Structure 1
């Protein structure tokens, strides 16, 4: 398969939890498993997915090569900053999200 933009990368922003979030994670894992460069940012309700044992889909996404960051402000605001995050989940802020949004060849999906 030939791509028009071989340097494309995907930034997926998850803001929901529950069944719809798990479906979103399954799609993200399929995208990463297909060899795409996929970065997932957890914000709002979705930060809870980054807590160890909270999501079935997040380990699959990480295992397929995806990268995960959880919003540090939301974690602190919801008193989750001390909760154990799933291995492979990093914390970062909205400033980094803004930088990633502006990277050339980044395709953004906000959920």
Structure 2
């Protein structure tokens, strides 16, 4: 029998990456859980952010900065039935533009 598979929504970490005020107790709990889960070899971990492209992009940035060794565990669930592909494409363009502007300054 294989290792347990865990999908962990880290949207809160992504939101806090660009909004320091959102670093509340739940942020710290999720961050600690990610820290410990990424170090375990007995769990197949997938990190994800499910609600919007903004949260996905922000969460990816957080993982790149805080847990670069876990980058291969991050998955973008953009093929969700509840997420419109037109909405995704539009939001992606806006977020990518904004992230590009932030990184250039």
TM-score range, shorter chain: 0.3 to 0.5
What's the TM-score once normalised by structure 1's chain length? 0.46
What's the TM-score once normalised by structure 2's chain length? 0.48
Higher helix content, 1 or 2? 2
For CA contacts below 8 A with separation 6 or more, give which structure has more relative contact order: 1
